[in-house]
Structure 1
Amino acid sequence: MAVDTKSGIALDRVRNIGIMAHIDAGKTTTTERILYYTGRTHKMGEVHEGAATMDWMAQEQERGITITSAATTATWRDFRINIIDTPGHVDFTVEVERSLRVLDGAIALFDAVAGVQPQSETVWRQAERYGVPRIAFINKMDRTGADFFASVQSMIDRLGAHPVPIQLPVGLEEHHRGIVDLVEMRAITWSDDLGTKMETGEIPAELQEQAQEYHHQLIDSVAEFDDELTETYLMDEESVTPEMIRRALRAGTLANKISPVLLGSAFKNKGVQPLLDAVIEYLPSPIDIPPVHGIDPRTEHELSRRPALDEPFSALAFKVMSDPYVGKLTYFRVYSGKLKAGDRVLNTNTGKTERISRILQMHANHREEREEIGAGEIAAGVGLKATTTGDTLATDTEPIKLESMMFPDPVISVAVEPKSKADQDKLGVGLQRLAEEDPTFRVRTDDETGQTLIAGMGELHLEIIVDRL
């Protein structure tokens, strides 16, 4: 089994996931809760207080929305979960595209009152295009008007999805207090505010019949993915074990045939631990996904790389950011082989070699130094001056060029002017830096008027760019 060298975690115990949703479906809150329960943050960040760990740019804390996808590492049940936080606002679709390229699986978050909303539809289609397996979390079950079954139905109607509920709600709206686990056939309720006191017990009498019905539906939905389950089910339904159901759910999810559906209220701290369990049970590890394909830049022949440490090193840079402490940070996903801090890498898009002086694993805005990282890992490198989003990093002896990323053309442009002549150069440098970080943001000078024009994906996009100058 390939072991991630310096942390001793086997690759089958790694999950690279994203949380995708419509704006305000509770994505940052859910991520915050995940970080809290996995022990990465000791106090929960509340979005409405402007204190969320993942939203670390000043503009995000002010607006309460997530703009840049920060990559964060957490640990649950001895599994390492790398979370890429993706923005839900339509102006930042490029951030979502960018992160889907490097994810193995995703949590699709829906609002229990609104069901599938327009941006959740866009993001779902993007995930479909990249073949990213998903589990769904129906959030905000404590809200007035929350309807789990209508939300599941909207996944079928609006997305053409194949949702398979693996939980049912215990109590509705302000009385929502827990879930029925349809795999283990038990109830889980939360009694305290922090959601750390989880109690497991019998399914309430009034829900027994509904639970039985949905338990049968669950087995019916997944039977085709596991032969042993099918045989047992046909011979003696009572002998079907939770382990068989979980195995079939995993197989169906990895094949992109179904999406297990869970529920809860992240804000009220209900349902987050079972969601983490589901990430581990049903979403792929780096070794569950097919090898990546690329071309040999010297011969143009097609190559593929397995997610193994004994393969030659290859990685994809998926985000460039400037950091106040270390300068330019390049986030990358390692697909094969391993990389040590201080190694020289070849950028197969530019043909230049560069030295990665430090490797950092990010926890929203804290960081941990790593001496070495391997296949399946996500980290940020310091020292890559000529590398931009979508570039492949490889060894110069066995180079590979992975497929780059596609970015849409800007839809809106405005003219910007410096406050004074003296600021002209500063403005140019600042805009150039931001254009490097964000491929959908373009800068040009109008030949006739001499004005500086900036173009982007929408008004909010440009407003935030100008704020960041």
Structure 2
Amino acid sequence: MPPDPHTENAADPAQEAARRRTFAIISHPDAGKSTLTESLALHCGAVQEAGHIHGKGDRGSTVSDWMSMEQERGISVTSASMQLEHRGTILNLLDTPGHADFSEDTYRVLAAVDAAVMLVDAAKGLEPQTMKLFAVCRHRGIPIITVINKWDRPGREALELMDEIREQTGLEPTPLTWPVGIAGEFGGFLDRRSGELVTVEPSAGGRHLAREQIRTPDEAAGADVDGWEQSVEESELLSASGADLDRETFQEGITSPVLFAAAVRHIGVPRILDALVELAPSPAPRPDVAGRDRALDEPFSAFTFKVQAGMDPAHRDRLAFIRVCSGVFRRGMTATTARTGKPFAMKYAHLSFGRDRDLTDLAYPGDVVGLVNASALTIGDTLYEAPPVEFPGLPRFAPEHFAVATPADRGRTKQFRRGMEQLESEGVVQVLRSERRGEEIPVLAAVGTMQFDVVEHRLTHEFRSAPRWETLPYGIARRTDEESAAALEAIGGVEVLRRGDGELLALFRDRWHVRGVERTREGLTLEPLVAA
């Protein structure tokens, strides 16, 4: 077969990796994550106007929130990816679900990135979900750029927020910009590296880019700008305490560069893009299950971190999102799936932009590629060209909510079954089955109850088979084995089911129930699952 003219002139993968930054945005719900995503896309020229209007009630269709349920509720309930370009650097942005109930999906996304932007509400500071996601980033060694958002609204003092970041995260904040004026009166900021004053004139309605005016320190001092002198004094105080940028300690996870922004008005967003280009690490060799690094210039390898269907209602196809780890991805190539040892042909491949897609011929380390109708792939699968490699799998979180779902209309059972298979493969919920209940009556297990809402919405609207729910009285699951299963099933209030990945899970009412069984029935295997 002659070489494909679209793919034969691939560039050096290590060189291409050096001009890529793959990052996620993490935050508590309603900190402005989808708004910031939209503003980043606008500044990179990827959209002509922002899809966010004033407030959630008037919210338009943002690029990242493509699911109708997201648009109705004004929150992100699924992850999305998009590729942007700024100053010649490719930015692979992975948007994450904004609600704690979807922390398992967020964890998978964080497994695929090299840096994170931690978005903090200027009025609320560090909130619980932000701290949970921060802990995941710290565990994975992901460096963090902090953005204080909504500075155009009343909020807390800037120095107070710096103290909170230091105390709550253990990171030393090193602000790159510093606001001129208190929260709620955001018209400009001090660029701490250049000493310049940047004033901003937002566009009407926030649909287009804001206009910036830059003044030298002397010009700023002579312009009698309210708050300028205080901003300079506070910046000098920060420098005296050692809170200046240090690239090495940032990438080591010791410090966090901080920027102030009002994403809805596009204020401060260009500096966030600059920080990503200048500071965020490019893709590095990824360790396999044995701890050996797969060099960037070794043959192609990637892992699947996300499976999603229903993004295009006209086609009802299924995308498997892979993060390229080494070598060059070429559309039409055949790789091996490490889990099965079987070949996998990647004929239809896209770079996605929210729900929109562009056919791609080539991709390099750090890039995220959507493989169309990749039904043979599951979350955590490794793909490779020889020599073989397998990357560590992605853990499943411990569910805390359980329910039985059956079709409300028995005449739609086939559609219901197909929908459940699809949602299980995507990891929307964990699906448990047992001989006692039968294959046709699955138990759905979730980290948070909103996952059930997504299941109901998608079964109803995508598969036209609305579910009937029966909530189960369980609140905790433990991993067990075949030897312990029979003994556990004989205990009142305990049920043992098998998850789709083959794991046996024993369900209990609460932790006191677990402790009572452990105390009275020694020798049983009851292992905790990964906590959300």
Tell me what 1:294 maps to: 288
Distance 2:329 2:143 in 1: 28
Between the two proteins, the alignment pairs up a number of residues equal to: 432
Can you list the C-alpha shifts for 1:353-396, whole angstroms capped at 9, x where unaligned? 1111122111112211111222222111124321111111112x
Matched residue, 2:525: none
Which of 41, 46, 49 does residue 43 from structure 1 map onto?
49
| Farther-moved stretch of structure 1 (136-145 vs 213-222) | 213-222
In structure 2, what is the equivalent of residue 113 of structure 1?
Answer: 123
Question: Is residue 2:219 matched to residue 1:198?
Answer: no
For 2:379, the aligned partner's letter is T
1:12 pairs, out of 18, 32, 52, with: 18
Residue of structure 1 equivalent to 2:161 = 151
Q: Which one is further off, 261-270 or 436-445? A: 436-445
Check conservation: 1:408, 1:440, Cα contact below 8 A. no
> RMSD of the alignment, in Å?
2.3
SS in 2 for 1:10: helix
2:181 matched residue in structure 1? 171
Q: Secondary structure in 2 aligned to 1:416?
A: strand
The match for 1:320 is 307
Pair 1:28-2:28 in alignment: no
Q: Relative to structure 2, which stretch is displaced further, 58-67 or 441-450?
A: 441-450
Query: Radius of gyration: which is bigger?
Result: 2
The share of aligned pairs that are identical, in percent, is: 28
SS in 2 for 1:68: coil
Q: CA deviation at 1:113?
A: 0.2
28, 36, 55: which is aligned to 2:65? Answer: 55
The CA deviation string for residues 112-138 of structure 1, in whole angstroms up to 9 with x for no partner, is 000000101001001001100111000
CA distance in 1, matches of 2:316, 2:408: 29
- Tell me what 1:139 maps to: 149
Report the CA distance shift for 1:332/1:94 in structure 2 as closer, same or farther (over 3 A).
same
Query: 5 Å matches for 1:213-362?
Result: 214-215=235-236, 217-218=238-239, 221=242, 249-286=246-283, 289=284, 291-295=285-289, 303-308=292-297, 311-322=298-309, 323-324=311-312, 325=315, 327-362=317-352
Are 2:331 and 2:362, in contact at CA under 8 Å, matched by a contact in 1? yes
DSSP-derived class of the 1:402 partner? coil
Are residues 1:461 and 2:451 paired?
yes
Other-structure match for 1:420: 409
Point out the more displaced range, 157-166 or 98-107: 157-166
**What are the Cα deviations for residues 255-288 of structure 1, in whole angstroms up to 9, with x where unaligned?**
21110110011112211111111111111111xx
Deviations 1:398-449 (A, max 9, x none): 1101111112122101122312221122111101100100164324367258
Name structure 2 gaps, 5 residues minimum.
1-8, 222-226, 460-532
- TM-score, normalised with respect to structure 1: 0.86
Could you tell me which amino acid in structure 2 is paired with residue 208 of structure 1?
E
1: CA distance, partners of 2:291 / 2:34: 40
Amino acid at match of 2:260: L
Q: 1:423 to 1:6 in 2, by over 3 A?
A: farther
Q: Distance in 2 between matches of 1:304 and 1:24?
A: 38
- Give the 3-state SS of the residue equivalent to 2:420 in structure 1: helix
- Give the unaligned 5+ runs of structure 1: 223-244, 296-300
C-alpha change, 1:355 and 1:314, in structure 2 (3 Å) is same
Match of 2:105 among 95, 110, 113: 95
Offset of residue 7 of structure 1: 11
1:454 partner letter: L
1: CA distance between counterparts of 2:237 and 2:166?
A: 19
Letter in 1 for 2:163: Q
- Normalised to the residue count of structure 2, the TM-score between the two structures is 0.77
